[in-house]
Structure 1
Amino acid sequence: MVVRKAKFFILAFLFLFAVTLLNGTALTYAKDFSVEVDGRQLVSGASLLSEQGRIMVPVRVLGEALGLKVRWYGDERMVILQKGDLLLKLTVGSRVAEKNDGKVFMDVAPKIANGRCFVPLRFVAQTFGCQVRWDQEKQLADVKSGMVKEISLGTLSPLEPMNILNDLGAWYRMNHFGFTHVQLVQYDPQLHIVPCLAEKWEVSPDGKAVTFYLVKDARWHDGEPVTAEDVKFTFEYKLKHLKELARWTVAAIEKIEVADAHTVTFYLKEPLVYSLFKDLAIGIGIILPKHIWEDVNDPKNYTARENLIGCGPFIFESYDPASQTATFKANHDYFAGQPSVEKVKVKYYKNVDALVMALKKGEIAATYDYAMPIPASYAPALEGTPGLDLGVISDLGIMIYMAFGREYPVTEKAFREAVSYAIDYEMLVKAVAGDYGEVPGRGIVPPSLPAYDPALPRLTQDLAKANALLDQIGLKDKDGDGIRELPDGSKLRIPVTPATKKGKETMMVRAAEVICSHLKKVGIDAYIDPEVLGNEEKWQQRVWNDRDYWIYLGYATPGAVIYDGGLMYFVDAQGAFGTCADPEYVRIYQKVRQARNDSEWTAALREAQHYHARELPGLALIWGKALYPYRTDEFTGWAIRSGFGPVNYQTWFALRSR
């Protein structure tokens, strides 16, 4: 028995000696050290290693304490740690780590000891936004994760009905960038397409097919696995039941094939993969659980609690109709790691005044909606509020644009030119946007977009040119009453239809008032369309469905401008909802949609800008800044996404309590 024990200890010693040789240095157990995370002891003594003054801890123990997703690849002796879209790759024996494909260097390399992988505590913790303090007296490494226990947000989009596919409701709009539901891909803060539910993909050479490879450990909130069948079902189901998708690239999907549980291929009718990715990265692209939705034939009226089951970083917990507040909890089993916020409350506000007051009082930390910045007119009320950042960012959208309808005389280029010269843009900007707007150029596309062409001139007022152009096409004031007449002798009366979406109506009506006053100065009796005032449903029907307007004042969302430069608001073509059917314009628009990369897209969009400058199918009226205020007195780490503000997928993993 003694001999057998001696042999065992000798073999064990030789094994450990071999391991230390492979790793290059001797292993020292930090018997007198301990580690705490947020006040709770993590490991101590024999569960810690020390090398070159650096404490090393078991990677899985540390990962779970920090809410990281830990994936071990034994054949490669590599571990991947993930929190949101931040990935850290560590290889045993190497001091070189990969952080989102960029190389970073560690003081010490990961080690294997007693069958466990040990990693440097400070390096990993700080990489994922934690603070690490060494207490010499206690021989204690004190890690503070900064986990946010609860945050309250405000929205102007209704929480009733509770339906994830109602594109006017808060449930859908909150998921444009990942909340209860996520997409195959998403935008990073610089608006590059990055992985989400799909960890990688392959695009066919002809740009008409793309194969997605899903992460293998994603689960729905009810515990069922997420599979390629769910992805296939999602888009076939949406194309069958949601008619509005006909406006987008997903309508070009010809078929979807599933190769295995985690591999799915989209085949398109046209070479539109580049544009498809832009659709898949926003609300249109959220994936649905087949086992929940396959028997639902009226999706927009499906309000059972199960319709809110997703696979995203947050799980729906409750809704209080009295306070109109929804509560969500962190998904601790999220495939990309646990979010840094334990609980989110979202409250509905009836108007911008109430929302702004809640921000000032600190009742909410930020607003949560899609493409709904606080109107610039509220900036003076918010400026100087302690602990509040105005969140001023370049607006990737178009604050206000003008589109022309299909009726004479707005179909005449000379008339559109006259309208463009009649407007006092500096006065309009001052009246509507104050210091947060600028006079736009003739090419529509805002300077915040890389495809912007600075060579095109800015719009200017010239009343003499406006009057001359109107005279030239026979629209003259024959009776001297200050209003021009049409060829049939009737007065030149033109309705101006403003967008009356909640949260936008006040700004749009104010702009319409200014525009009407300017057009009257050149003999156009312009007036605000009374039928859409206070009637969001009528506005949507008139503009998006019937396209029954003469002059329309709208706003371009950042998502639309990223997709096609905002052309969809002006062109009458597949995937758009404008009124200009000029074959040349349609051809250019298709070039934008069928671009295969950034350079082709930029070139096509430059061509579109020159067409706009020449033919004026529509005008940008104000380019501006977007205001997305957020509290800085309680929270830090807001991830400001270009064009969209501070509340987004990245923020859920980066936010910290002060």
Structure 2
Amino acid sequence: MNDLTMNRRTVLLAGSASLLAGLMPQMTLAQSNNAARMNVIAFPEPPTLFIGLDQNGSTQTVSGKIYESLLSYDFDFTPKPGLAESWDVSEDGLTYTFHLVKTAKWHDGEPFTADDVVFTTKEFLMEVHPRARGIFQNCETIEAVDEHTVRFTLKQPFAPFLMGFEMSTAPMIPAHLYRGTDFRTNPNNNKPIGTGPFKLAEWNRGSYIRLEKNPDYHGEGEPHLDEIIFQILPDAGARAVAIEQGQVQQAQFFDIEMFDIQRLSELGNIQLITKGYEFYAPVARIEFNTRVEPFNDKRFRQAICHALDKQLFADAIFFGLGKPATGPISNRTRFYDADVKPYDYDLEKAAALLDEMGLKPDANGVRRTVKFLRLPWGETWARFAELVQQQLALIGIKVEIEPADPASWTSKYANWEFEMTSNYPYQFGDPALGVSRFFVSSNIRKGVAYSNCTGYENPEVDALFEKGATATSDADRQAAYSAAQKILVEDVPMAWLVEVDFPTLLDKGYEDVVVSAIGVNETYRKARKA
């Protein structure tokens, strides 16, 4: 660990113990009896717990215990029962029939039925959830066969259809509370009603969210925990101290600054888990606005790719929790292909490409000044932007870092008001669900974040992603996605740098916590004290 990192950590931790002490009475009170309880960090505080309208990361982590979908997924993406206890797929790949759990109830006591599934997928999600809309628009019909059986009939094969029933993609919504209402202003949005193993008991905004055991949960003998309390700790140092002192038993994603992960994982009562993020498989990257000069010239983008040391980013920014990326698809996602154009760290190649463009250094050695819109999710991304700035200076590209808060970053990104920015969106287990959305020209939609905001257009890539989504054999899908990866890595509308391994820090006194490919966003129906 270098001196700069040590100084950053010292500054973060200085005063954090006293800040945490101000939270201690609340935490101590929460642990005053012998109930089976778990304290988890929630950072940042969720804007809402209604997962139907918001898929923010912290919303998913909390609401994943309240809401459920039809399926869950093993670490290798094998579907597992959720609210569907079994399912059948026709030989032609057009008909999917789900047999639902018969004992599931909504938290208000009403039964969960096929009508709720039809309403959720045919009406609710189609109106408010862009990612789900991309899945269920493939359906010719969605119908209730009987009270506990639902049949989806597709217009044409859509290979990843079974991957579309993850909790944040297709959360089941109670039809009896939402049908015929304005989904976005429904008063039930403020008091979430799901079918999950935990119910919302209390939300003290700015302080904590307390979930309590659902006594009517359909899983026999589940859940095993009585309460889960999500502690809202805005200060990075306080979050680290809370783990260190045992005031919370779990942290996840970027809750803890990356430079502190290894130290905390070496505490005797803490384990470091990197499983449970396979469904998300983020690739930290730089996105270029290909509409503006000089980013509209792929030679400039290629020069940047040669000037960025991927291994240094993996080591210095993510502290070994990740590996250098090769392209748009993570090696943890289906249909990854490593046989693409390599961008080795080579300043001479980078400079030659800039010379070829006619971008010669001025008296100060500067060829071009560009702006980098900094991602506002903590210290990790501040250091990421600083390293980009340092490395591109070596080839005469001067980088001006533009700060942003979450709201302004999202607005600028969605409305194409950037030249370069960093990002790490989720892949959702299949290129058709989490990757193609950033490259197909039909998804160039101003005002919509996490779509094709780079403005990249290539009809051949559009056709390959379409073939990859609709082909019925894995071999044909692989061929299409391999071809798409090769083209994209040549055109580089983005610079893919690191396949990030998100860390979960978990108290060893708990078990069966990370049991699926969505890890900490799961229901925790199986989680228990050891």
Q: Same fold (TM over 0.5)?
A: yes
* Contact map agreement 1:252 1:270 (CA 8 A) in 2: yes
For residue 430 of structure 1, report the CA deviation from its aligned partner. Answer: 2.8
Aligned pairs for 1:462-501 within 5 A: 462-477=346-361, 479-484=362-367, 492-500=368-376
**Would the alpha carbon gap of residues 585 and 305 (structure 1) be closer, same or farther in structure 2, given more than 3 Å must change?**
closer
In the aligned structure 2, how far is the partner of 1:375 from the partner of 1:326?
25
Question: Which structure: greater strand fraction?
Answer: 1
Give the residue type in structure 1 aligned to 2:38: I
Specify the alignment match of 2:400 in structure 1: 527
**Would the alpha carbon gap of residues 529 and 641 (structure 1) be closer, same or farther in structure 2, given more than 3 Å must change?**
same
**Would the alpha carbon gap of residues 351 and 247 (structure 1) be closer, same or farther in structure 2, given more than 3 Å must change?**
farther
* Contact map agreement 1:421 1:466 (CA 8 A) in 2: yes
Specify the alignment match of 1:39 in structure 2: none
In the aligned structure 2, how far is the partner of 1:231 from the partner of 1:249?
14
Specify the alignment match of 1:225 in structure 2: 111
Q: 2:421 aligns with which of 546, 552, 560?
A: 552
Aligned pairs for 1:603-618 within 5 A: 603-618=479-494
State whether structure 2 residue 137 is matched by structure 1 residue 237: no
Give the residue type in structure 1 aligned to 2:511: T
In the aligned structure 2, how far is the partner of 1:456 from the partner of 1:326?
48
Q: Match of 1:495, SS?
A: strand
Specify the alignment match of 1:152 in structure 2: 39
In the aligned structure 1, how far is the partner of 2:352 from the partner of 2:105?
66
In the aligned structure 1, how far is the partner of 2:425 from the partner of 2:39?
28
* Contact map agreement 1:445 1:452 (CA 8 A) in 2: yes
Q: Match of 1:345, SS?
A: strand
In the aligned structure 2, how far is the partner of 1:395 from the partner of 1:637?
15
For residue 469 of structure 1, report the CA deviation from its aligned partner. Answer: 1.0
RCO (CA 8 Å, sep 6+): is it higher in 1 or 2?
Answer: 2
Per-residue CA deviation, residues 133-183 of structure 1 (Å, 9 max, x unaligned), is xxxxxxxxxxxxxx972222121142454534342557841367x422211
* Contact map agreement 2:160 2:469 (CA 8 A) in 1: yes
* Contact map agreement 1:400 1:622 (CA 8 A) in 2: yes
Q: 1:588 aligns with which of 461, 464, 478?
A: 464
For residue 373 of structure 1, report the CA deviation from its aligned partner. Answer: 6.3
**Would the alpha carbon gap of residues 338 and 262 (structure 1) be closer, same or farther in structure 2, given more than 3 Å must change?**
same
For residue 553 of structure 1, report the CA deviation from its aligned partner. Answer: 1.1
Q: Match of 1:539, SS?
A: helix
**Would the alpha carbon gap of residues 646 and 316 (structure 1) be closer, same or farther in structure 2, given more than 3 Å must change?**
closer
Q: Match of 2:343, SS?
A: coil
**Would the alpha carbon gap of residues 156 and 516 (structure 1) be closer, same or farther in structure 2, given more than 3 Å must change?**
same
**Would the alpha carbon gap of residues 561 and 459 (structure 1) be closer, same or farther in structure 2, given more than 3 Å must change?**
farther
Q: Match of 2:86, SS?
A: strand
Q: 1:379 aligns with which of 257, 261, 266?
A: 261
Q: 2:241 aligns with which of 348, 357, 360?
A: 357
Specify the alignment match of 1:536 in structure 2: 406
**Would the alpha carbon gap of residues 172 and 250 (structure 1) be closer, same or farther in structure 2, given more than 3 Å must change?**
farther
* Contact map agreement 2:372 2:419 (CA 8 A) in 1: yes
* Contact map agreement 1:440 1:458 (CA 8 A) in 2: no
Percent sequence identity over aligned pairs:
24
In the aligned structure 2, how far is the partner of 1:622 from the partner of 1:473?
28
**Would the alpha carbon gap of residues 411 and 428 (structure 1) be closer, same or farther in structure 2, given more than 3 Å must change?**
same
In the aligned structure 2, how far is the partner of 1:282 from the partner of 1:445?
22
Q: List alignment gaps of at least 5 residues for structure 2.
A: 1-33, 445-449
Per-residue CA deviation, residues 271-325 of structure 1 (Å, 9 max, x unaligned), is 32x32322222312111111111243142x4454884111122222233347333
In the aligned structure 1, how far is the partner of 2:206 from the partner of 2:421?
37
* Contact map agreement 1:157 1:169 (CA 8 A) in 2: no
Specify the alignment match of 2:168 in structure 1: 283
**Would the alpha carbon gap of residues 223 and 602 (structure 1) be closer, same or farther in structure 2, given more than 3 Å must change?**
same
Q: Match of 1:248, SS?
A: helix
Specify the alignment match of 2:501 in structure 1: 625
For residue 432 of structure 1, report the CA deviation from its aligned partner. Answer: 0.5
**Would the alpha carbon gap of residues 542 and 444 (structure 1) be closer, same or farther in structure 2, given more than 3 Å must change?**
same
**Would the alpha carbon gap of residues 190 and 394 (structure 1) be closer, same or farther in structure 2, given more than 3 Å must change?**
same
* Contact map agreement 1:312 1:331 (CA 8 A) in 2: no
TM superposition score normalised by structure 2: 0.82
Q: List alignment gaps of at least 5 residues for structure 1.
A: 1-146, 485-491
Specify the alignment match of 1:167 in structure 2: 54
Per-residue CA deviation, residues 601-657 of structure 1 (Å, 9 max, x unaligned), is 43333222222332223221112432111000x223333545x445634x531x332
Give the residue type in structure 1 aligned to 2:304: V
**Would the alpha carbon gap of residues 647 and 249 (structure 1) be closer, same or farther in structure 2, given more than 3 Å must change?**
closer
Give the residue type in structure 2 aligned to 1:296: T
Q: Match of 2:85, SS?
A: strand
Specify the alignment match of 1:179 in structure 2: 65
In the aligned structure 2, how far is the partner of 1:547 from the partner of 1:277?
33
**Would the alpha carbon gap of residues 253 and 356 (structure 1) be closer, same or farther in structure 2, given more than 3 Å must change?**
farther
* Contact map agreement 1:163 1:169 (CA 8 A) in 2: no
Specify the alignment match of 2:378 in structure 1: 505
**Would the alpha carbon gap of residues 395 and 414 (structure 1) be closer, same or farther in structure 2, given more than 3 Å must change?**
farther
In the aligned structure 2, how far is the partner of 1:631 from the partner of 1:311?
27
Per-residue CA deviation, residues 225-256 of structure 1 (Å, 9 max, x unaligned), is 11111111112332454153476323444442
**Would the alpha carbon gap of residues 512 and 212 (structure 1) be closer, same or farther in structure 2, given more than 3 Å must change?**
same
* Contact map agreement 1:439 1:459 (CA 8 A) in 2: no
In the aligned structure 2, how far is the partner of 1:505 from the partner of 1:347?
18
Q: Match of 1:549, SS?
A: coil
In the aligned structure 1, how far is the partner of 2:492 from the partner of 2:467?
19
For residue 450 of structure 1, report the CA deviation from its aligned partner. Answer: 5.0
In the aligned structure 2, how far is the partner of 1:230 from the partner of 1:387?
43
In the aligned structure 2, how far is the partner of 1:249 from the partner of 1:497?
31
**Would the alpha carbon gap of residues 181 and 607 (structure 1) be closer, same or farther in structure 2, given more than 3 Å must change?**
same
In the aligned structure 2, how far is the partner of 1:394 from the partner of 1:318?
27
Specify the alignment match of 1:8 in structure 2: none
- Kindly report the root-mean-square deviation, in angstroms, between the aligned alpha carbons of the 2 structures: 3.0
Q: Match of 1:585, SS?
A: helix
In the aligned structure 2, how far is the partner of 1:170 from the partner of 1:422?
31
State how many pairs are aligned.
487
Specify the alignment match of 1:638 in structure 2: 513
* Contact map agreement 2:197 2:223 (CA 8 A) in 1: yes
In the aligned structure 2, how far is the partner of 1:402 from the partner of 1:360?
33
Specify the alignment match of 1:648 in structure 2: 522
In the aligned structure 2, how far is the partner of 1:640 from the partner of 1:335?
16
* Contact map agreement 2:45 2:206 (CA 8 A) in 1: no
* Contact map agreement 1:218 1:225 (CA 8 A) in 2: yes
**Would the alpha carbon gap of residues 589 and 542 (structure 1) be closer, same or farther in structure 2, given more than 3 Å must change?**
farther
**Would the alpha carbon gap of residues 358 and 597 (structure 1) be closer, same or farther in structure 2, given more than 3 Å must change?**
farther
In the aligned structure 2, how far is the partner of 1:207 from the partner of 1:574?
26
In the aligned structure 2, how far is the partner of 1:481 from the partner of 1:306?
57
Give the residue type in structure 2 aligned to 1:430: D
For residue 554 of structure 1, report the CA deviation from its aligned partner. Answer: 0.6
Higher radius of gyration, 1 or 2 = 1
State whether structure 2 residue 212 is matched by structure 1 residue 328: yes
In the aligned structure 2, how far is the partner of 1:597 from the partner of 1:313?
37
Per-residue CA deviation, residues 189-231 of structure 1 (Å, 9 max, x unaligned), is 4321122212233334554442322222222222221111111
TM superposition score normalised by structure 1: 0.67
In the aligned structure 1, how far is the partner of 2:401 from the partner of 2:430?
27
Q: Which moved more, 1:181-190 or 1:202-211?
A: 202-211
